[in-house]
Amino acid sequence: MNTPTESAALRFAQGPRMNALTLVQEQPRETGARLEIDLGAIAANTQLFARRSSADVMAVVKADGFGHGAVDVARTALANGASSLGVTGIEEGVRLREAGLRAPVLSWLNPVDADVESAIRQGIDLAVPSRPHLEAVITQAAAMRMTAQIHLHLDTGMARDGSEPSAWPGLCRAARLAERSGTVQVVGVMGHLGCADHPSDPCNATGRTRFAWGVEAARSAGLRPAIRHLAATSATLTDPRTHHDVCRVGAGLVGIDPSRTVALRPAMTLTAPFVSVRRVRAGTNVGYAHTWTARAVTHLGLLPLGYADGLPRAASGRAEVLVRGRRRPIVGRISMDQVVVALGDNRVEPGEIATVFGPGDAGEPTVADWASWADTIEHEIVTGIGSRVHRHTRAAHAGALRSLS
Ligand SMILES: *Cc1c(COP(=O)(O)O)cnc(C)c1O
Protein backbone atom coordinates (compact mmCIF):
# COMPACT_ATOMS: atom_id res chain seq x y z
CA MET A 1 0.00 0.00 0.00
CA ASN A 2 1.22 3.49 -0.83
CA THR A 3 0.72 6.38 1.52
CA PRO A 4 -1.57 9.13 0.17
CA THR A 5 1.45 11.29 -0.60
CA GLU A 6 3.16 8.45 -2.41
CA SER A 7 0.01 7.77 -4.45
CA ALA A 8 -0.21 11.41 -5.45
CA ALA A 9 3.44 11.36 -6.44
CA LEU A 10 2.85 8.18 -8.45
CA ARG A 11 -0.16 9.67 -10.22
CA PHE A 12 1.88 12.76 -11.00
CA ALA A 13 4.71 10.66 -12.39
CA GLN A 14 2.33 8.59 -14.52
CA GLY A 15 0.24 11.52 -15.67
CA PRO A 16 2.42 12.85 -18.44
CA ARG A 17 2.98 9.37 -19.84
CA MET A 18 -0.73 8.70 -20.03
CA ASN A 19 -1.31 12.08 -21.61
CA ALA A 20 1.31 11.37 -24.24
CA LEU A 21 -0.43 8.07 -25.02
CA THR A 22 -3.81 9.78 -25.31
CA LEU A 23 -2.32 12.35 -27.71
CA VAL A 24 -0.92 9.65 -29.97
CA GLN A 25 -4.22 7.80 -30.03
CA GLU A 26 -6.63 10.64 -30.76
CA GLN A 27 -5.60 13.67 -32.80
CA PRO A 28 -7.27 16.79 -31.42
CA ARG A 29 -9.94 18.06 -33.80
CA GLU A 30 -8.57 20.91 -35.87
CA THR A 31 -9.68 24.43 -34.95
CA GLY A 32 -8.13 27.86 -35.24
CA ALA A 33 -6.03 29.59 -37.86
CA ARG A 34 -5.74 27.86 -41.19
CA LEU A 35 -3.41 28.33 -44.15
CA GLU A 36 -4.55 27.09 -47.53
CA ILE A 37 -2.00 26.67 -50.30
CA ASP A 38 -3.26 26.68 -53.87
CA LEU A 39 -0.90 24.58 -55.99
CA GLY A 40 -2.92 25.64 -59.05
CA ALA A 41 -1.49 29.13 -58.58
CA ILE A 42 2.04 27.71 -58.41
CA ALA A 43 1.38 25.68 -61.57
CA ALA A 44 0.15 28.78 -63.43
CA ASN A 45 3.08 30.90 -62.24
CA THR A 46 5.60 28.23 -63.27
CA GLN A 47 4.05 28.02 -66.73
CA LEU A 48 4.38 31.78 -67.10
CA PHE A 49 8.11 31.64 -66.30
CA ALA A 50 8.66 28.66 -68.61
CA ARG A 51 7.00 30.61 -71.47
CA ARG A 52 8.92 33.76 -70.63
CA SER A 53 12.39 32.45 -71.47
CA SER A 54 14.06 29.93 -73.70
CA ALA A 55 16.35 29.10 -70.77
CA ASP A 56 15.43 26.27 -68.41
CA VAL A 57 13.64 27.09 -65.15
CA MET A 58 15.20 26.00 -61.86
CA ALA A 59 12.49 26.02 -59.20
CA VAL A 60 14.01 27.53 -56.06
CA VAL A 61 12.30 25.83 -53.10
CA LYS A 62 14.50 27.05 -50.24
CA ALA A 63 12.97 27.89 -46.85
CA ASP A 64 10.33 25.18 -47.31
CA GLY A 65 9.35 26.46 -50.73
CA PHE A 66 9.06 30.04 -49.44
CA GLY A 67 6.76 28.68 -46.72
CA HIS A 68 4.48 26.89 -49.21
CA GLY A 69 5.89 23.37 -48.70
CA ALA A 70 9.12 22.52 -50.54
CA VAL A 71 8.05 19.11 -51.83
CA ASP A 72 4.63 20.32 -53.02
CA VAL A 73 6.10 23.37 -54.76
CA ALA A 74 8.88 21.26 -56.30
CA ARG A 75 6.49 18.61 -57.65
CA THR A 76 4.10 21.21 -59.01
CA ALA A 77 6.85 23.25 -60.64
CA LEU A 78 8.46 20.18 -62.25
CA ALA A 79 5.07 19.17 -63.68
CA ASN A 80 4.56 22.63 -65.16
CA GLY A 81 7.77 23.52 -66.94
CA ALA A 82 10.62 23.63 -64.41
CA SER A 83 13.43 21.14 -65.01
CA SER A 84 15.59 21.39 -61.90
CA LEU A 85 15.43 22.42 -58.23
CA GLY A 86 17.47 24.87 -56.18
CA VAL A 87 17.90 24.99 -52.41
CA THR A 88 20.17 26.71 -49.93
CA GLY A 89 21.55 23.92 -47.70
CA ILE A 90 22.31 20.26 -48.44
CA GLU A 91 19.71 19.08 -45.90
CA GLU A 92 16.96 20.78 -47.89
CA GLY A 93 18.13 18.90 -50.97
CA VAL A 94 18.27 15.58 -49.13
CA ARG A 95 14.65 16.07 -48.05
CA LEU A 96 13.62 16.46 -51.70
CA ARG A 97 15.41 13.22 -52.56
CA GLU A 98 13.75 11.45 -49.60
CA ALA A 99 10.39 12.56 -50.99
CA GLY A 100 11.27 10.72 -54.19
CA LEU A 101 12.16 13.68 -56.42
CA ARG A 102 14.79 12.69 -58.98
CA ALA A 103 15.26 15.98 -60.88
CA PRO A 104 18.65 17.74 -60.72
CA VAL A 105 19.08 19.61 -57.42
CA LEU A 106 21.60 22.36 -56.68
CA SER A 107 22.49 23.41 -53.11
CA TRP A 108 24.36 26.72 -53.03
CA LEU A 109 25.10 27.74 -49.48
CA ASN A 110 26.99 25.44 -47.14
CA PRO A 111 29.70 25.77 -44.50
CA VAL A 112 33.00 24.04 -45.30
CA ASP A 113 32.18 21.22 -42.86
CA ALA A 114 28.75 20.53 -44.41
CA ASP A 115 27.55 16.99 -45.10
CA VAL A 116 29.11 16.85 -48.56
CA GLU A 117 29.03 13.05 -48.39
CA SER A 118 25.20 13.03 -48.41
CA ALA A 119 25.14 15.52 -51.28
CA ILE A 120 27.45 13.37 -53.42
CA ARG A 121 25.65 10.14 -52.57
CA GLN A 122 22.24 11.69 -53.33
CA GLY A 123 23.40 13.29 -56.57
CA ILE A 124 22.96 16.85 -55.33
CA ASP A 125 25.09 19.45 -57.16
CA LEU A 126 27.02 21.85 -54.94
CA ALA A 127 27.88 25.48 -55.54
CA VAL A 128 31.50 26.21 -54.63
CA PRO A 129 32.39 29.79 -53.65
CA SER A 130 36.00 29.39 -52.43
CA ARG A 131 39.13 27.23 -52.33
CA PRO A 132 38.37 25.84 -48.83
CA HIS A 133 34.92 24.74 -50.05
CA LEU A 134 36.49 23.16 -53.12
CA GLU A 135 39.04 21.32 -50.96
CA ALA A 136 36.24 19.96 -48.73
CA VAL A 137 34.38 18.59 -51.78
CA ILE A 138 37.56 17.11 -53.31
CA THR A 139 38.49 15.36 -50.05
CA GLN A 140 35.05 13.83 -49.63
CA ALA A 141 34.68 12.80 -53.27
CA ALA A 142 38.15 11.19 -53.21
CA ALA A 143 37.26 9.24 -50.06
CA MET A 144 34.09 7.96 -51.76
CA ARG A 145 35.83 7.38 -55.10
CA MET A 146 33.05 9.39 -56.73
CA THR A 147 32.81 12.55 -58.82
CA ALA A 148 31.01 15.55 -57.31
CA GLN A 149 29.14 17.84 -59.72
CA ILE A 150 29.84 21.45 -58.84
CA HIS A 151 28.88 24.95 -59.95
CA LEU A 152 31.53 27.59 -59.33
CA HIS A 153 29.88 30.61 -57.70
CA LEU A 154 31.18 34.09 -58.58
CA ASP A 155 30.26 37.21 -56.59
CA THR A 156 28.76 39.39 -59.33
CA GLY A 157 28.43 42.47 -57.15
CA MET A 158 26.66 41.81 -53.84
CA ALA A 159 29.67 41.12 -51.61
CA ARG A 160 27.58 38.34 -50.13
CA ASP A 161 28.10 34.75 -51.30
CA GLY A 162 30.38 33.70 -54.16
CA SER A 163 34.09 34.06 -54.93
CA GLU A 164 35.65 37.49 -54.99
CA PRO A 165 36.77 38.25 -58.55
CA SER A 166 40.40 38.45 -57.44
CA ALA A 167 40.26 34.82 -56.24
CA TRP A 168 38.23 33.55 -59.23
CA PRO A 169 40.97 32.63 -61.74
CA GLY A 170 42.77 30.66 -58.99
CA LEU A 171 39.55 28.90 -58.02
CA CYS A 172 38.94 27.97 -61.67
CA ARG A 173 42.48 26.57 -62.06
CA ALA A 174 42.15 24.52 -58.86
CA ALA A 175 38.78 23.17 -60.03
CA ARG A 176 40.31 22.22 -63.39
CA LEU A 177 43.09 20.28 -61.61
CA ALA A 178 40.45 18.48 -59.55
CA GLU A 179 38.54 17.62 -62.73
CA ARG A 180 41.67 15.96 -64.05
CA SER A 181 41.91 13.86 -60.88
CA GLY A 182 38.26 12.83 -61.30
CA THR A 183 36.99 14.18 -58.00
CA VAL A 184 34.83 16.98 -59.38
CA GLN A 185 33.13 17.98 -62.60
CA VAL A 186 32.40 21.66 -63.08
CA VAL A 187 28.94 21.59 -64.67
CA GLY A 188 27.98 25.21 -64.01
CA VAL A 189 28.95 28.79 -63.20
CA MET A 190 26.57 30.96 -61.18
CA GLY A 191 26.22 34.59 -60.14
CA HIS A 192 23.44 36.59 -58.49
CA LEU A 193 22.23 40.18 -59.08
CA GLY A 194 21.64 42.50 -56.15
CA CYS A 195 19.55 45.17 -57.88
CA ALA A 196 17.46 43.21 -60.40
CA ASP A 197 14.21 44.54 -58.87
CA HIS A 198 15.24 47.89 -60.40
CA PRO A 199 16.26 47.02 -63.99
CA SER A 200 17.68 50.47 -64.78
CA ASP A 201 20.13 50.40 -61.85
CA PRO A 202 23.70 50.39 -63.25
CA CYS A 203 24.55 47.61 -60.77
CA ASN A 204 22.81 45.20 -63.20
CA ALA A 205 25.12 46.02 -66.11
CA THR A 206 28.12 45.63 -63.81
CA GLY A 207 26.82 42.24 -62.68
CA ARG A 208 26.23 41.04 -66.26
CA THR A 209 29.71 42.14 -67.32
CA ARG A 210 31.37 40.52 -64.35
CA PHE A 211 29.46 37.29 -64.99
CA ALA A 212 30.55 37.22 -68.65
CA TRP A 213 34.14 37.78 -67.51
CA GLY A 214 33.81 34.95 -64.98
CA VAL A 215 32.56 32.49 -67.61
CA GLU A 216 35.45 33.49 -69.92
CA ALA A 217 37.98 33.04 -67.11
CA ALA A 218 36.55 29.58 -66.39
CA ARG A 219 36.91 28.65 -70.06
CA SER A 220 40.48 29.98 -70.14
CA ALA A 221 41.25 27.66 -67.23
CA GLY A 222 40.07 24.75 -69.37
CA LEU A 223 36.61 24.35 -67.77
CA ARG A 224 33.51 23.76 -69.91
CA PRO A 225 30.59 24.81 -67.67
CA ALA A 226 27.44 23.93 -69.61
CA ILE A 227 25.01 25.56 -67.17
CA ARG A 228 25.50 29.31 -66.78
CA HIS A 229 22.96 30.94 -64.45
CA LEU A 230 22.58 34.50 -63.19
CA ALA A 231 18.89 35.47 -63.17
CA ALA A 232 16.36 35.08 -60.35
CA THR A 233 12.67 36.13 -60.54
CA SER A 234 13.10 39.84 -61.35
CA ALA A 235 15.85 39.46 -63.94
CA THR A 236 13.94 36.60 -65.58
CA LEU A 237 10.98 38.95 -66.02
CA THR A 238 12.86 42.08 -67.04
CA ASP A 239 16.18 41.28 -68.73
CA PRO A 240 16.69 38.43 -71.25
CA ARG A 241 20.42 39.22 -71.32
CA THR A 242 20.67 37.59 -67.89
CA HIS A 243 18.93 34.34 -68.81
CA HIS A 244 21.86 32.26 -70.15
CA ASP A 245 21.10 28.53 -69.68
CA VAL A 246 18.97 28.48 -66.52
CA CYS A 247 16.84 31.00 -64.61
CA ARG A 248 16.59 30.36 -60.86
CA VAL A 249 13.01 31.30 -59.94
CA GLY A 250 11.76 31.23 -56.37
CA ALA A 251 9.53 34.14 -55.34
CA GLY A 252 7.80 34.21 -58.73
CA LEU A 253 6.57 30.64 -58.39
CA VAL A 254 4.64 31.52 -55.24
CA GLY A 255 3.18 34.68 -56.75
CA ILE A 256 5.67 37.36 -55.71
CA ASP A 257 7.04 39.68 -58.42
CA PRO A 258 9.60 42.04 -56.88
CA SER A 259 9.98 43.81 -60.26
CA ARG A 260 6.24 44.63 -60.30
CA THR A 261 6.01 43.96 -64.05
CA VAL A 262 3.61 41.00 -64.29
CA ALA A 263 0.50 39.80 -62.49
CA LEU A 264 1.34 36.54 -60.75
CA ARG A 265 -1.10 34.48 -58.71
CA PRO A 266 -0.60 34.45 -54.91
CA ALA A 267 -0.97 30.92 -53.55
CA MET A 268 -1.64 31.45 -49.82
CA THR A 269 -4.91 32.17 -48.02
CA LEU A 270 -4.80 32.64 -44.24
CA THR A 271 -8.05 32.56 -42.27
CA ALA A 272 -9.09 32.35 -38.62
CA PRO A 273 -12.38 32.03 -36.73
CA PHE A 274 -13.52 34.61 -34.20
CA VAL A 275 -13.03 33.21 -30.72
CA SER A 276 -15.31 35.78 -29.11
CA VAL A 277 -17.11 39.04 -29.85
CA ARG A 278 -17.96 41.78 -27.36
CA ARG A 279 -19.69 45.15 -27.49
CA VAL A 280 -17.76 47.97 -25.82
CA ARG A 281 -18.42 51.61 -24.91
CA ALA A 282 -16.70 54.67 -26.34
CA GLY A 283 -13.49 55.24 -24.44
CA THR A 284 -12.61 51.53 -24.13
CA ASN A 285 -8.86 50.94 -24.43
CA VAL A 286 -7.66 47.91 -26.38
CA GLY A 287 -4.61 45.71 -25.99
CA TYR A 288 -1.11 46.14 -24.54
CA ALA A 289 -0.21 49.75 -23.72
CA HIS A 290 -3.71 50.87 -24.78
CA THR A 291 -2.55 52.06 -28.18
CA TRP A 292 -6.15 52.21 -29.48
CA THR A 293 -9.27 53.64 -27.87
CA ALA A 294 -12.81 53.17 -29.16
CA ARG A 295 -14.27 56.55 -30.21
CA ALA A 296 -17.81 55.20 -30.23
CA VAL A 297 -19.69 52.08 -29.28
CA THR A 298 -18.25 49.19 -31.30
CA HIS A 299 -18.07 45.45 -31.47
CA LEU A 300 -14.63 43.91 -30.96
CA GLY A 301 -13.82 40.46 -32.31
CA LEU A 302 -10.91 38.31 -31.10
CA LEU A 303 -8.89 36.25 -33.60
CA PRO A 304 -6.56 33.49 -32.32
CA LEU A 305 -3.37 34.36 -34.15
CA GLY A 306 -0.57 36.84 -33.63
CA TYR A 307 3.09 37.48 -34.25
CA ALA A 308 4.09 33.93 -33.25
CA ASP A 309 1.92 32.81 -36.16
CA GLY A 310 3.53 35.21 -38.60
CA LEU A 311 1.47 38.41 -38.33
CA PRO A 312 4.22 41.01 -38.09
CA ARG A 313 3.87 43.09 -34.93
CA ALA A 314 5.11 46.08 -36.94
CA ALA A 315 1.77 46.03 -38.81
CA SER A 316 -0.05 47.05 -35.59
CA GLY A 317 -2.22 50.09 -36.18
CA ARG A 318 -2.40 49.57 -39.97
CA ALA A 319 -3.46 46.00 -40.70
CA GLU A 320 -6.93 44.91 -41.76
CA VAL A 321 -8.81 41.64 -42.26
CA LEU A 322 -11.90 40.78 -44.34
CA VAL A 323 -15.08 40.03 -42.38
CA ARG A 324 -18.44 39.43 -44.08
CA GLY A 325 -17.10 41.00 -47.29
CA ARG A 326 -15.79 44.15 -45.59
CA ARG A 327 -12.31 45.24 -44.55
CA ARG A 328 -12.10 45.76 -40.79
CA PRO A 329 -9.11 47.16 -38.89
CA ILE A 330 -7.00 45.22 -36.42
CA VAL A 331 -6.86 47.55 -33.41
CA GLY A 332 -4.34 47.82 -30.60
CA ARG A 333 -1.05 45.98 -30.64
CA ILE A 334 -0.71 42.64 -32.40
CA SER A 335 -0.02 40.20 -29.54
CA MET A 336 1.91 36.93 -29.70
CA ASP A 337 -1.20 34.76 -30.15
CA GLN A 338 -4.12 37.08 -30.76
CA VAL A 339 -5.43 40.23 -32.37
CA VAL A 340 -8.55 42.32 -31.83
CA VAL A 341 -10.65 43.45 -34.81
CA ALA A 342 -12.96 46.48 -34.63
CA LEU A 343 -16.24 45.42 -36.22
CA GLY A 344 -18.24 48.65 -35.77
CA ASP A 345 -21.95 47.95 -35.48
CA ASN A 346 -21.55 44.55 -37.13
CA ARG A 347 -22.26 41.87 -34.58
CA VAL A 348 -20.32 38.86 -35.83
CA GLU A 349 -20.96 35.44 -34.33
CA PRO A 350 -18.11 33.57 -32.61
CA GLY A 351 -16.88 30.95 -35.07
CA GLU A 352 -17.36 33.16 -38.13
CA ILE A 353 -14.28 33.27 -40.32
CA ALA A 354 -12.07 36.29 -40.99
CA THR A 355 -9.70 36.28 -43.96
CA VAL A 356 -6.32 37.65 -42.93
CA PHE A 357 -4.89 37.54 -46.45
CA GLY A 358 -5.47 35.82 -49.76
CA PRO A 359 -5.17 36.45 -53.50
CA GLY A 360 -7.45 39.49 -53.15
CA ASP A 361 -10.35 38.16 -55.25
CA ALA A 362 -12.99 38.94 -52.64
CA GLY A 363 -11.44 42.19 -51.48
CA GLU A 364 -9.38 40.55 -48.74
CA PRO A 365 -5.93 41.94 -47.92
CA THR A 366 -3.03 40.42 -49.84
CA VAL A 367 0.41 39.36 -48.68
CA ALA A 368 1.61 42.52 -50.43
CA ASP A 369 -0.71 44.61 -48.22
CA TRP A 370 0.69 42.95 -45.10
CA ALA A 371 4.23 43.53 -46.32
CA SER A 372 3.58 47.22 -46.84
CA TRP A 373 1.82 47.55 -43.44
CA ALA A 374 4.91 46.05 -41.80
CA ASP A 375 7.47 47.91 -43.95
CA THR A 376 8.87 44.66 -45.27
CA ILE A 377 8.72 42.46 -48.38
CA GLU A 378 6.24 39.73 -49.25
CA HIS A 379 8.97 37.08 -48.92
CA GLU A 380 9.22 37.73 -45.18
CA ILE A 381 5.46 37.34 -44.69
CA VAL A 382 5.11 34.02 -46.57
CA THR A 383 8.21 32.44 -45.00
CA GLY A 384 7.15 33.54 -41.51
CA ILE A 385 3.87 31.68 -40.96
CA GLY A 386 4.20 29.82 -37.66
CA SER A 387 4.10 26.08 -37.16
CA ARG A 388 0.84 25.96 -35.20
CA VAL A 389 -1.21 27.29 -38.14
CA HIS A 390 -2.96 24.31 -39.77
CA ARG A 391 -1.85 23.84 -43.36
CA HIS A 392 -3.96 22.49 -46.20
CA THR A 393 -2.87 22.08 -49.77
CA ARG A 394 -5.22 22.38 -52.73
CA ALA A 395 -4.00 20.18 -55.59
CA ALA A 396 -3.22 21.83 -58.92
CA HIS A 397 -5.58 19.75 -61.05
CA ALA A 398 -8.60 18.44 -59.15
CA GLY A 399 -9.03 21.26 -56.65
CA ALA A 400 -9.08 18.62 -53.94
CA LEU A 401 -7.91 19.60 -50.49
CA ARG A 402 -5.24 17.55 -48.79
CA SER A 403 -4.73 17.97 -45.08
CA LEU A 404 -1.15 18.44 -43.96
CA SER A 405 -1.55 18.92 -40.23
C1 LIG B 1 16.73 33.06 -53.22
C2 LIG B 1 17.66 32.96 -54.37
C3 LIG B 1 17.17 32.85 -55.68
C4 LIG B 1 15.71 32.97 -56.00
O5 LIG B 1 15.40 34.35 -55.98
P6 LIG B 1 13.93 34.86 -56.30
O7 LIG B 1 14.07 36.33 -56.45
O8 LIG B 1 13.12 34.47 -55.12
O9 LIG B 1 13.48 34.19 -57.54
C10 LIG B 1 18.09 32.66 -56.70
N11 LIG B 1 19.40 32.60 -56.45
C12 LIG B 1 19.92 32.72 -55.21
C13 LIG B 1 21.39 32.66 -55.02
C14 LIG B 1 19.07 32.93 -54.13
O15 LIG B 1 19.57 33.06 -52.90
The mean pLDDT value of the chain amounts to: 93
CA of 156 to the centre of ligand 1 (A): 14
For residue 279, what is the enclosing H or E element? strand 276-280
Query: What is the per-residue pLDDT across 95-112, written as a single tens digit (0 to 9) for each?
Result: 999 999 999 999 999 999
Query: What does the pLDDT average to over 283-292?
Result: 97
Are the C-beta atoms of residues 61 and 67 closer than 8 Å to each other? no
The greatest distance separating any two alpha carbons of the chain, rounded to the nearest whole angstrom, comes to 86
Question: Ligand 1 test: best mutation among 49, 109, 248, 379, most atoms within 8 Å of CB?
Answer: 248
Whether residue 233 has its Cβ less than 6 Å from ligand 1 = yes
Query: What is the per-residue pLDDT across 43-59, written as a single tens digit (0 to 9) for each?
Result: 999 999 999 999 999 99
* Separation CA 15–CA 320 (nearest Å): 43
Q: Which of 178, 169, 170 minimizes the C-alpha distance to 150?
A: 178
pLDDT at 15 (0 to 100): 46
* Residue 373 phi, psi (nearest 5): -60, -30
Are the C-beta atoms of residues 253 and 396 closer than 8 Å to each other? no
For residue 132, what is the enclosing H or E element? helix 131-144
Are the C-beta atoms of residues 90 and 119 closer than 8 Å to each other? yes
Q: Which residues are catalytic?
A: 62, 288
Q: Which of 177, 165, 179 minimizes the C-alpha distance to 214?
A: 165
CA of 252 to the centre of ligand 1 (A): 10
Query: What is the per-residue pLDDT across 300-331, written as a single tens digit (0 to 9) for each?
Result: 999 999 999 999 999 999 999 999 999 999 99
CA distance to 252, 306, 353, per residue, from 368 (Å)? 13, 18, 21
Alpha helices for 191-271 (secondary structure H): 202-220, 233-238
pLDDT at 347 (0 to 100): 81
Residue nearest to atom 4 of ligand 1 (CA): 250
Whether residue 249 has its Cβ less than 6 Å from ligand 1 = yes
How large is the angle between the packed helices 90-98 and 70-78, nearest 10 degrees?
70
Question: Ligand 1 test: best mutation among 42, 60, 155, most atoms within 8 Å of CB?
Answer: 60
pLDDT at 30 (0 to 100): 84
DSSP class of 165 = G
Task: Indicate if the pLDDT at residue 16 is higher than 70.
Answer: no
Res. 26 pLDDT band, cuts 50 70 90: low
pTM, to two decimals: 0.92
Amino acid at 373: W
